Amino acid sequence: MKGARELALLFDTGQYGRLYIVSGAHARGRTFYVYVLPANESAIPNGVNYPPLNNDAVMVFGPISGQLGWTENYGWIHHGKWEDDFWDLAARRRAEIKRVEECAADRDRKTAALAAARELALLSTY
């Protein structure tokens, strides 16, 4: 839904430092939640589309308006230092994805060049 799609595609559900991210989906689109975990506590996973089972985890990003499952809009529920940590994490993730895509494009170019050279070599021997 609005504000969730790009972020949900950027992250897998799991613990990232003290943040627990839930990237999910429902029939009308992607969902995205961020929880802050208590200090020195590991997340207790509860499945891919569900919040952690930690009693004291606090949802800080999620639906802020609209009808859930239909028109929800996502954003920060609570503001604090975790926002900077989250956006730094998102920037690193975007850079990592870009690096992987560039490597794949480079590999594809090299593969195409090798295939063309093999074809030319074979045709030159006719």
Tens digit of pLDDT for each residue in 47-90?
Answer: 777 889 888 999 999 999 887 778 888 999 999 999 999 999 99
Distance separating alpha carbons of residues 14 and 118, to the nearest angstrom: 45
Model confidence at 103: pLDDT above 70: yes
Closest by CA position to 51, among listed 29, 27, 71, 31: 31
**Residue predicted with more confidence, 43 or 49:** 43
- pLDDT at residue 9, rounded to an integer: 86
| pTM score over 0.85 | no
Judge whether 38 and 54 are in contact, CB under 8 Å.
yes
Mean pLDDT of the chain: 89
pLDDT of residue 1: 54
Q: What would the mean pLDDT of 20-49 be, rounded to a whole number?
A: 88
Domain ranges of the chain: 5-101
